Amino acid sequence: MNIKQTDKQYIAGTYNRFPVEIVSGKGSLVVDENGKEYIDMGSGIAVTSFGVADEKWVEAVAAQAGKVQHMSNLYYTEPCALLARELCERTGMAKVFFSNSGAEANECAIKVARKWAAEKKGPEHFTIATLKNSFHGRTLTTLAATGQEHYHELFQPLTPGFAHVEAGNMAELEALAASTPLAAVMIECIQGEGGVLPISREYAEALSRFVKERDILLVVDEVQTGNGRTGRLYSYMHYGLEPDIVSTAKGLAGGLPLGATLLSGKVQGILGFGDHGSTFGGNPVCCAAALSVLGRIDEDLLGQVRAKGEWLKAAFQGAEGIEGVTGLGLMLGLKTTKPAGEVVAKCMENGVLCLTAKDKVRLLPALNIPMELLEKAAAVIKAACAG
Ligand X SMILES: *Cc1c(COP(=O)(O)O)cnc(C)c1O
CB of 249 to ligand X, least distance (A): 5
The partner residues of 219 in beta bridges, in order of sequence, read 186, 245
Binding site for ligand X (CB under 6 A): 101-103, 106, 135-137, 188, 192-193, 221, 223-224, 249-250
Is the peptide bond preceding residue 157 cis, with omega within 30 degrees of 0? Answer: yes
- By beta-carbon proximity to ligand X, the closer residue of 199 and 384 is 199
SS3 content of the chain, % helix, strand, coil (to 5): 40, 20, 40
- By beta-carbon proximity to ligand X, the closer residue of 25 and 44 is 44
CB of 268 to ligand X, least distance (A): 23
Helices (H), 17-130: 43-46, 55-65, 78-91, 102-120
Amino acid at 50: F
For the chain, the residue count is 387
- By beta-carbon proximity to ligand X, the closer residue of 27 and 137 is 137
Closest-approach residue to ligand X (CB)? 102
CB of 362 to ligand X, least distance (A): 11
- By beta-carbon proximity to ligand X, the closer residue of 158 and 386 is 158
- By beta-carbon proximity to ligand X, the closer residue of 27 and 195 is 195
- By beta-carbon proximity to ligand X, the closer residue of 137 and 255 is 137
217-221 vs 245-248, strand pairing mode: parallel
Residue 90 neighbours by CB under 8 Å, 6+ apart = 233, 294
CB of 262 to ligand X, least distance (A): 15
Outline where DSSP puts E strands in 132-243.
Answer: 162-165, 182-187, 190-191, 197-198, 217-221
CB of 251 to ligand X, least distance (A): 10
CB of 232 to ligand X, least distance (A): 16
**Distance separating alpha carbons of residues 91 and 137, to the nearest angstrom:** 23
CB of 368 to ligand X, least distance (A): 21
Q: On the CB side of 353, how many CA atoms lie within 13 Å of its CA?
A: 27
CB of 22 to ligand X, least distance (A): 19
Comparing CA positions, the residue from 226, 171, 168 lying closest to residue 201 is 168
Contact 336, 387 (CB under 8 A): no
- By beta-carbon proximity to ligand X, the closer residue of 221 and 244 is 221
Residue 148 neighbours by CB under 8 Å, 6+ apart = 132, 133, 134, 135, 194
**Distance separating alpha carbons of residues 288 and 327, to the nearest angstrom:** 30
CB of 370 to ligand X, least distance (A): 26
With 0-12 / 13-18 / 19 or more C-beta atoms within 10 angstroms meaning exposed / middle / buried, residue 110 is buried
- By beta-carbon proximity to ligand X, the closer residue of 358 and 376 is 358
- By beta-carbon proximity to ligand X, the closer residue of 32 and 104 is 104
- By beta-carbon proximity to ligand X, the closer residue of 95 and 229 is 229
Please report, to the nearest 10 degrees, the dihedral formed by the alpha carbons of residues 59, 61, 63, 66 taken in order.
-140
CB of 186 to ligand X, least distance (A): 10
> Which whole-number Å values give the CA distances from 216 to 105, 211, 265, 267, 302, in the listed order?
20, 5, 14, 12, 31
